[in-house]
Each structure stands twice: as C-alpha cells, then as structure tokens.
C-alpha cells in the first residue's frame, strides 16, 4: 500500500500533490484565492484537502465548480468537517485562531495520504507547488517535516525575546507553510518532556498541550516548536523565500534567499491582505483575486502588479518589487515557452 511505504519515492505524474488547508470563520475568500494561486502556477495534478466548518462546505463546493474546466481538471478536492481525535474538541477549536489546531491532527485523519503540504489560508503561491514538493526528496532518513524559521535575526525575533517554552533553534519555526511526510510521522516515536520513552504523534498531542497551555501564545505553532525542540533531527528547515512574511521586509530586507531567487510562497499574516499597512502584500492578493482565469497571465496579472507596485514605494517592502516579481516572471515565461513549443509543434505536423 502506498500509505505504508517507509521512504518517499518520486511520485509519478499521475499521482497528486496533496495540499491541505483549514478554513473557519470569514476565511472563505482568502482560502479560494490561495487555491487559485496553486492551480494557476502548478504543473502536476493537485489534491486539495479542505477542512472547514459545516456552514462553509456548500460555499466551497459552489465556488470551486464555477472555475473553468481548463482549471478544474487540474485538481480534485475533498472537504472535511473539523474534528479532533484526542482531548477536548472545544478546547482545541479555540486554541489561538479558530480551528488552527486542526493541522496537528492531519496525520491521524488523512491515513491514506503519504505526504502533504499544509498552508495557512493567507498564503499565496508565486511559483509551482511542484518545486516545494520536490523538497520531500531531500529529506534524510530521520526527517519527517519541513518548515521555515520564524525569523532570520534573533535579536528582533519573537521566540528569542518572549517565548516561555522550548522552541526550535535560535528563532523558532513558523508553521504557516509545513511540508509533511505523514507516513513517517505516523510511525515515529517522539522524544518529549513528559515520559522517558517515546510517544506517537497522536499520544503526544494532548498531554503536550496540557503541560504547556499556560505558556503558549501562538497555539499549535508553539506546540510544533516544542515537538521539534525535543526532536530536531526530525526537521528539515527550508529557507525564508518559501514562507515570506511582512517581517522579512517591513524593518528592512532580511531574507537573503528572496533577494537572490525571489519570493516563492507569500504569507500575508497579520491580516495584511485586508488593511493598508503593507500595500505590496495587498496588491499581490488583489491581482490574483481579480485575475480572470482564461486571460493572458502577462497582460492581466503581471502588468497590473507592476503598476500597483508603483504605489507602494513609500514602504520598505515596496522598495524591493523585484523580490516579489522574480518568481512570477520566471513561472510565466515557462508557461509561455511551453505553449509556444506546443503550438509550433502542432503547426509543424500539418
């Protein structure tokens, strides 16, 4: 069975890249824009696993069906209710943000899924998911999850200044983009601060929460930091351009990977898509939201972005537009070149 393989093999082109998201409250539109960015730029087939409150389920189904068939054929979607397998469901549901703790239970719920990319609703893909999916092949034999650091600079990082619990590394981890080998997570024994021996993932979650609940600020992200503090060999750390947040530019540019390669995944935390504090992030969100599916990517996405960015140069993030545009430009060139090759090839045959 694929769910029992011990080492991830390169999936065939027929298999899915699994993407999970948890949406509660007013996160319907944000989640749909995230899924849209995934479909716009990815090459291989996607499987969406959407965990949502019951009231949102019909809305998701309706909106996804409205997308043109040229895009709906690129993915399949499953919508699940919010469920917690251990402990008090109401307590988990209220932890930090509504339903955010659901992500901790993905290895338990999605028993037949081997590997998975989890993202927060406020994430936008600026290049194919295929590229982060390939990082699964870079895991060594003990690694079972991948995340980016919470900060690049310890002296201004949150964890290094304020955390009252153990956390990973020098600046902690941000869990908004998390690549997981679920097969390995399900079979691993995790070291912990509660018993001398190891615990399985599911056995560990509730006791861990009970032990640290009075010390954690960021809910499930803090619990993940505690887990990987005790099990650092289990984590693959990917660089900041795969989880690029306002913190990476609002105090001055501090994500070297993004300066060199461009932003790969944008994470608009702090609600920046919906206020005017970081207009560069808001511009990207609005342009992807408003992009008509069947239109030309250069005309209806890239050029509007460039002109919107001109209005953001008064901010520190707005002074480095190339960081936000580099990967989009690269991805669009590839799409364009592929279409030209297909077109020329088709003409050549007649």
Q: What is the pLDDT of residues 89-119, one digit of tens each?
A: 878 877 767 688 899 999 999 999 999 999 9
- Answer yes or no: CATH 3.30.360.10 is held by domain 17-238: no
Q: What is the pLDDT of residue 336?
A: 75
User: Is the pLDDT at 2 greater than 50, yes or no?
Assistant: no
Q: How many helices (H) does the chain have, and how many strands (E)?
A: 15, 9
Report H helices in 138-278: 158-162, 182-187, 201-212, 220-230, 256-261
Q: Which residue has the higher pLDDT, 213 or 323?
A: 323
Q: What is the pLDDT of residue 175?
A: 94
Tens of pLDDT along 48-95?
A: 999 999 999 999 999 999 999 999 999 999 999 998 888 888 788 777
Tens of pLDDT along 241-285?
A: 999 999 999 988 999 999 999 999 999 998 999 999 999 999 999
Percentages helix, strand, coil for the chain (3-state, rounded to 5) are 50, 15, 35
**Which residues are CB-neighbours of 269 under 8 A, at least 6 positions away?**
120, 122, 176, 245, 246
Cross-strand bridge partners of residue 179: 117, 146
Cα 317 to Cα 210, 249, 277: the distances in Å are: 39, 5, 10
pLDDT level of residue 10 (50, 70, 90 thresholds): very low
Q: Which residue has the higher pLDDT, 302 or 159?
A: 302
Q: What is the pLDDT of residue 342?
A: 58
User: Is the pLDDT at 15 greater than 90, yes or no?
Assistant: no
Q: What is the pLDDT of residue 350?
A: 43
- Phi first, then psi: give them for residue 228, nearest 5 degrees: -80, -15
Distance from C-alpha of 18 to C-alpha of 12, rounded to nearest angstrom? 13
Q: What is the pLDDT of residue 193?
A: 85
Burial of residue 252 (number of CB atoms within 10 Å: 0-12, 13-18, 19+): exposed
Q: What is the pLDDT of residue 333?
A: 85
Q: What is the pLDDT of residue 5?
A: 41
Tens of pLDDT along 176-197?
A: 999 999 999 999 999 998 888 8
Q: How many CB atoms lie within 10 A of CB 168?
A: 22
Rounded mean pLDDT, 145-169? 83
Which residue reads 């993905």 in tokens?
106
CB distance 126 to 263 below 8 Å: yes
**Which residues are CB-neighbours of 314 under 8 A, at least 6 positions away?**
none
Q: How many CB atoms lie within 10 A of CB 7?
A: 10
Mean pLDDT of the chain: 89
pLDDT level of residue 347 (50, 70, 90 thresholds): low
Q: What is the pLDDT of residue 63?
A: 97
Q: How far is CA 47 from the centre of its chain?
A: 14
Q: What is the pLDDT of residue 345?
A: 56
**Which residues are CB-neighbours of 9 under 8 A, at least 6 positions away?**
none
Q: What is the pLDDT of residue 346?
A: 54
Beta strands in 182-258 (DSSP E): 235-237
Coil, helix or strand for 324?
A: helix
Q: How many CA atoms lie within 13 A of 326 on its CB side?
A: 15
Coil, helix or strand for 169?
A: coil
Q: For strand 75-80 and strand 115-119, is the pairing parallel, antiparallel, or unpaired?
A: unpaired
Q: What is the pLDDT of residue 329?
A: 92
User: Is the pLDDT at 6 greater than 50, yes or no?
Assistant: no
- Joined tokens for residue 247: 């913190």
pLDDT level of residue 325 (50, 70, 90 thresholds): very high
Q: Which of 55-64, 155-164, 317-326 has the lowest mean pLDDT?
A: 155-164
User: Is the pLDDT at 18 greater than 80, yes or no?
Assistant: yes
User: What does the domain layout of the chain look like in residue ranges?
Assistant: 17-238, 241-345
Q: How far is CA 326 from the centre of its chain?
A: 19
């Amino acid at each position: 069975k694929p769910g029992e393989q011990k080492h991830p093999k390169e999936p065939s082109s027929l298999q899915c890249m699994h993407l999970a998201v948890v949406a509660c409250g007013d996160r319907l539109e944000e989640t749909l824009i995230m899924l849209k960015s995934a479909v716009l730029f990815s090459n291989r087939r996607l499987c969406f696993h959407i965990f949502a409150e019951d009231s949102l389920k019909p809305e998701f189904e309706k909106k996804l069906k409205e997308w043109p068939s040229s895009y709906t054929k690129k993915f399949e979607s499953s919508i699940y209710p919010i469920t917690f397998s251990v402990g008090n469901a109401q307590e988990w549901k209220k932890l930090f943000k509504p339903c955010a703790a659901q992500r901790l239970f993905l290895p338990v719920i999605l028993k037949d899924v081997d590997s998975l990319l989890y993202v927060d609703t406020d994430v936008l893909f600026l290049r194919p998911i295929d590229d982060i999916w390939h990082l699964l092949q870079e895991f060594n034999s003990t690694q079972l999850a991948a995340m980016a650091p919470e900060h690049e600079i310890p002296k201004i990082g949150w964890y290094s200044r304020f955390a009252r619990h153990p956390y990973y590394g020098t600046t902690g981890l941000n869990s908004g983009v998390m690549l997981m080998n679920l097969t390995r997570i399900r079979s691993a024994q995790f070291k912990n601060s509660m018993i001398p021996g190891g615990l399985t993932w599911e056995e560990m979650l509730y006791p861990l929460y009970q032990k640290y609940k009075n010390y954690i600020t960021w809910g499930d992200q803090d619990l993940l930091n505690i887990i990987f503090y005790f099990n650092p060999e289990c984590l693959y750390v990917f660089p900041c351009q795969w989880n690029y947040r306002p913190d990476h530019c609002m105090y001055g540019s501090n994500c070297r990977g993004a300066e060199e390669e461009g932003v790969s995944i944008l994470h608009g935390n702090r609600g920046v898509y919906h206020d005017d504090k970081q207009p560069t992030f808001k511009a990207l969100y609005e342009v992807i939201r408003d992009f008509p599916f069947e239109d030309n990517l250069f005309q209806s996405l890239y050029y509007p972005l460039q002109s919107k960015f001109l209005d953001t140069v008064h901010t520190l993030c707005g002074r480095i537009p190339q960081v936000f545009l580099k990967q989009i430009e690269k991805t669009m060139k590839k799409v364009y070149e592929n279409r030209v090759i297909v077109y020329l090839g088709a003409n050549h045959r007649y």
